[in-house]
Structure 1
Amino acid sequence: MTLRRTLTAVAAATFLALLPNTAQAAVSYPDPRPITGQQIIHDPTVIKLKSGGYVAYSTGGIIGARLSKDGKQWDDEGNAFAEPPSWWYEYNNTGDPWAPDISYRAGKYWLYYAVSSWGTNHSAIGVATSDSGLPGTWTDHGKVFSSETTDSWNAIDPGIIKADGKLWMAFGSYWTGIRMVELNPATGKAIEGATVDHLATRPDLPYAVEGPYIVKHGRYYYLFASYDACCAGVNSTYKIKVGRATNVEGPYVDSTGKSMLEGGGDLLLEGHGRYVGTGGQSVFQDKGQDWLAYHYYDAEDEGTPKLGLNKLVWNKNGWPNVA
């Protein structure tokens, strides 16, 4: 019986590895890694610090900060900034930033974030830098890129990637979906007059796709995005989809070849059990392992948003799955 069970398990694992991403997701969704300490978070971005340990920044407060020595125990460390930069108040009356993205480049940490108000695309993305990446050490450098009500895109939810010697920022929420613009590597800001590429949308109003994050794996660029509705506790319908392209500017397609500009995208992770509305995702590396960071709404804790961490594994066809 032991040998039979072992062979059955091996066969099942092989079967799952060969399935398209959407089919694997339909079989089961893994729970997030167990963590302790301060679990409350929204739109997390995580990085392994050069000095050791991890930092996570998030929507909430003046960019909420969490620190961890081992990726399991997380402690509240206040906010990235001591007080909001004055220009934030152009976009909301509380100086409340959203959806940060942290990266390391050119010997320093870069923190991108959005400022806006609910239900409008009068929005802007800003950037700050730090030598250590720790909360309280950030110097703000102002606006990177903005949108107005006359634009067909929404300048929130930044995601930074370096590709082919150039620096790019994916962004977008509703308002025709996901866009991308080239940045000046020296300033970290959008190149004046740069083309605004279109990466993903949906055929149905209100084009509910946002929170883009692009990573390179093998010869492909992978676009992760959150679909449907966030921010409604246990009524949230957020889910994470993914497509890929051989060029960072697209076109991005799913495992069936359907373009993400036509509503395509493989389902990577959605709510299951107590873990409702999985989304607001980013990806980080730790010792060569890719990790998916996201928030979920805890159905066993009145819909409180919490940090989800899962390993990303790549199947034989080059598609990511959560483990």
Structure 2
Amino acid sequence: MKKHNYFNGIKSFALTALVIFLSACSGDDNIDDSSETPKPDPEPEVEVPVPESFDGPTYADDYSSMASWANRSKWNLANVHDPTVVKHGDYYYMYQTDASYGNAHDGHGHFHGRRSKDLVNWEYMGASMPNQPSWIKEELNTIRASYNLAPIENLQIGYWAPVVRKVGNVYRMYYSIVVDNFIGNGLPNSAANFDNTWTERAFIGMMETTDPSVNSSWEDKGMVVCSVSDKGNDWSRSSYTNDWNGYFKYNAIDPSYVITPEGEHWMFYGSWHSGIAAIQINESTGKPLNTFDYKDEATWGTHIYTRTSGSRWQGSEGPEVIYNENTGYYYLFLAYDGLDVPYNTRVCRSENVTGPYKGIDGMNVTNGGDVYPIVTHPYKFNNHSGWVGFAHNAMFQNEETGDWFYSSQARLPENTGGNMYSNAIMMGHVREVSWTSDGWPVVSPERFANVPQTEITEENIVGTWEQITMNYEYRVMQTSKTIIFSKDGTLGGEVSGSWELNKQTNTIYINGDECKLFNAWDWEAAPRKLTIAYSGLTTDGKPIWAKKK
């Protein structure tokens, strides 16, 4: 569970109870306790075409032995949470929520960054915000005074989920600040301090720089929006654990940002509570185009999404909005469910920036409805522990090639390698994205490794694969089945039917389901190696992931 107002406490649990512990724990990231299902001998396989040599990534997924601050130069994509990615010069820059295994980042600033030229090897850069901005306390206590509430001197602050976009010649980082003190007594959020009120509001602020390669160059520009409530001064909460009818309508966290083809600028915000809102931004200032007033609902933006109509306990968050000029759609990506294990990514789309957004079934989800397709879900290939907590994504594009990429954190499952804290090991994933013929994104089953691109032929596909059809199951990892591709176009093993390849579009059809092919790096193999993979969707929006063994 996370991100509503009480969510400030739940998130604290997720990022302290799951993250604050000893950072040096033993573990093995290549674990498979299952025995392989007996299968018939396949036809002779054709080797995947490979270059004479390729040095793919070898870094361990279980980084607990090097998670301390002293080892930060070795982290690569270790300790990534809620990433956002932007390109500047030769480098991609990634920023994130303040979170790390063992709280290694504590005391070293906020909104930590790293950079990479190839999206595989990442250099840790440190904090873009050295200290808490002074405006947060000033804004909060000004608002509290308008409700005749005493000021809070000692704020309990969380630094979450930034988004970075290039706007003209500057880079803007919209960031989330949560205040985890109770509204009533102003004390830090805990069961012992509970006074039958909700915790305080969150804020979205903004920083700018012309050169993200210099961490100290980020200049804070103050508040953009804050959490808003349509309940006036009724911030009472009947129970610390059983009352989910949140005080705030929109939670000012998890910003996303898009510039329309017409040149309009829009920021999206909100999580749990009543859903997601879009507010138009002044290009010059980076602040709302029209005056924002926390007491005037007409200024809060346009409501674009709700998972459950009438509920303030949505189980959805982390909006990421992009525009794909090739399809003509705006895409709204969402993180569903709790971040520890069940986290999964969904996507819907619209021809207009403010909606209505619709899923693959054509359903308008503005006022309620589960979104399909699923983009990512907890899963496990053989010879590895698998990944859970796999969502809250960034989408970014290589503007030179037009290629799209998906990035998010994923977590090791609980008790991986006997480590009781392994679920707090958060590895950053970067994956290639392809688009189906009807304009839906599918994500590579394997993380990006910058492997050489080679033509994939029928001969390469013949042989034995692992395939996962990802049904939505809360807290349940989806596991693979053996599928055998025969030369005659039939399927065997644990999946029957037929297959067909379209080399011109790099597409394989599995019993009629369209799947896009990828040259891939087999991260689960020991040693890791080159392979091929495919990713597609069933007609009702369930991912189909597979890799050749």
Structure 1 residue 144 and structure 2 residue 224: aligned? yes
- 1:217-245, Cα deviation, whole Å (9 max, x unpaired): 12111100111112x3xxx3111100000
* Sequence identity percentage: 29
- Aligned pairs for 1:263-302 within 5 A: 263-266=369-372, 267-273=374-380, 274-286=386-398, 287-299=401-413, 300=416, 302=422
Unpaired runs of at least 5, structure 1: 10-32
Structure 1 residue 72 and structure 2 residue 120: aligned? yes
Structure 1 residue 153 and structure 2 residue 265: aligned? no
Distance 1:175 1:35 in 2: 41
Q: 1:116 aligns with which of 138, 161, 178?
A: 178
Gap change, CA 1:93 and 1:195, over 3 Å in 2 = closer
Structure 1 residue 313 and structure 2 residue 434: aligned? yes
Aligned residue type for 1:282:
A
Structure 1 residue 251 and structure 2 residue 359: aligned? no
The SS at the match of 2:249 is coil
The SS at the match of 2:135 is helix
Other-structure match for 2:212: 133
- Aligned pairs for 1:18-167 within 5 A: 36=59, 37-38=74-75, 39-50=78-89, 52-60=90-98, 61-89=109-137, 93-117=155-179, 120=199, 122-134=201-213, 135-149=215-229, 150=231, 151-163=248-260, 164-167=262-265
The answer to whether the 8 Å contact 1:113/1:158 transfers is yes
Aligned residue type for 1:283:
M
Gap change, CA 1:152 and 1:95, over 3 Å in 2 = closer
- 1:94-127, Cα deviation, whole Å (9 max, x unpaired): 5432101011111111111011145746111111
- From the CA coordinates, give the structure whose radius of gyration is larger: 2
Displacement after TM superposition at 1:82 (Å): 2.0
Aligned residue type for 1:53:
Y
Distance 1:212 1:120 in 2: 22
TM-score where L is the length of structure 1? 0.83
Distance 1:70 1:120 in 2: 42
Aligned residue type for 2:79:
I
The SS at the match of 2:379 is coil
Unpaired runs of at least 5, structure 2: 1-40, 49-55, 60-73, 99-108, 141-153, 181-197, 232-247, 293-298, 381-385, 445-549
Other-structure match for 1:174: 272
Distance 2:200 2:279 in 1: 17
Cα RMSD (Å) of the superposition? 2.5
**Which shows bigger deviation, 131-140 or 202-211?**
202-211
Aligned residue type for 2:408:
Y
The SS at the match of 2:217 is coil
Q: 2:329 aligns with which of 220, 225, 228?
A: 220
Aligned residue type for 1:42:
H
The answer to whether the 8 Å contact 1:35/1:73 transfers is no
Aligned residue type for 1:155:
A
Aligned residue type for 1:239:
N
Displacement after TM superposition at 1:34 (Å): 5.5
Structure 1 residue 190 and structure 2 residue 288: aligned? yes
Structure 1 residue 210 and structure 2 residue 310: aligned? no
Other-structure match for 1:24: none
Higher strand share: 1
Distance 2:426 2:228 in 1: 30
Other-structure match for 2:531: none
Displacement after TM superposition at 1:308 (Å): 1.0
Distance 1:2 1:247 in 2: 49
Distance 1:178 1:34 in 2: 37
Distance 1:35 1:86 in 2: 43
Other-structure match for 1:29: none
Distance 1:257 1:65 in 2: 38
TM-score where L is the length of structure 2? 0.50
Distance 1:169 1:146 in 2: 13
